Amino acid sequence: MASQIDISVDGHVMVLTINRPDKRNALTQQMYTELRNQLLAADEDDNIRAYLIRGQQDCFTAGNDLSNFVEGEFGESNQAVKFIKVLPKLRKPLIAAVGGSAVGVGVTLLPHCDMVIAADNAKFAMPFVNLGIVPEAGSSTLIPQMCGGPLAAELLLLGEPFDVEKAKQVGLVNHSCAPEELITLAMEYAQKFASRPPQAMQHAKALLKLSQPQLSSVLQTEFDGLAQRLSSQETQALFAALLKRSQ
């Protein structure tokens, strides 16, 4: 099976492109494995100084592929769990270019990025509760820290879509631009990060992460809650109905 994560290098920037447009770039276990392995290897490669993650065509990612996500037991061996746990540990800057839809983990990975550039037409949603599950990737603490409790509750508990202006208000997005300018602008910023003294950059990024001392315990609590929800009758019924409609 061909890889659905395309890797390229531009100078000192590694570009990771989610390439599954027929499924709106929904992420499978194999894709999570590839993303994690590529990031871990590049974090030890002195030639790579920054990462740019993007989606192929007009979608960042629709989040988890539900049919693939629910296969087997959900736990520490789940590749989504392993990928998410890597994000806070990355030593080098991670930049995201968000075009079109960003759903679920497509939104919750953004607080782990060091810069987010979004197209003016980008749409965001975190419909966890609507799916019978709970927030993940540290979003239950990172997003309230970014925008305050009431707005975080609106986004995480109601799960309604929101536009790029609200994403900037929340703090999820640094800059927005026309869709056709997205990759150029995101790469411009990625190259800026890569042009700075690499050891100083990594040291400074590590200092910024000191503001999240409880993140690892929050991640574990979220994963435990997600496992509990996935085993519940309520969530299983919701997933079954969604999968039936998608067939």
Q: Which residue type occupies 236?
A: Q
CA distance 160 to 164: 13
Asked if residue 18 lies in contact with residue 56, where contact means CB atoms within 8 angstroms, the answer is yes
Would residue 233 count as lying in a domain?
A: no
CA distance 42 to 246: 36
Give the residue, 202 or 56, on which the prediction is more confident.
202
What pLDDT is attached to residue 66? 80
Evaluate if pTM is beyond 0.85. Answer: yes
Would residue 213 count as lying in a domain?
A: no
Asked if residue 87 lies in contact with residue 38, where contact means CB atoms within 8 angstroms, the answer is no
Would residue 25 count as lying in a domain?
A: yes
Q: Based on the structure, what is the number of domains in the chain?
A: 1
Say which CATH number the domain at 105 has.
3.90.226.10
What is the tens place of the pLDDT at every residue in 146-202?
Answer: 999 999 999 999 999 999 999 999 999 999 999 999 999 999 999 999 999 999 999
What is the tens place of the pLDDT at every residue in 226-247?
Answer: 999 998 999 989 988 888 887 6
What pLDDT is attached to residue 70? 63
Would residue 31 count as lying in a domain?
A: yes
Cα three-residue angle 244-64-33, rounded to 5 degrees: 130
- Domain holding 118, by residue range, is 5-181+194-200
Would residue 206 count as lying in a domain?
A: no
Asked if residue 83 lies in contact with residue 103, where contact means CB atoms within 8 angstroms, the answer is no
Would residue 234 count as lying in a domain?
A: no
CA distance 158 to 246: 22
Would residue 37 count as lying in a domain?
A: yes
Asked if residue 163 lies in contact with residue 141, where contact means CB atoms within 8 angstroms, the answer is no
What pLDDT is attached to residue 78? 87
HSE, CB side, 13 Å, CA atoms: give it for residue 14.
Answer: 22
What pLDDT is attached to residue 68? 72
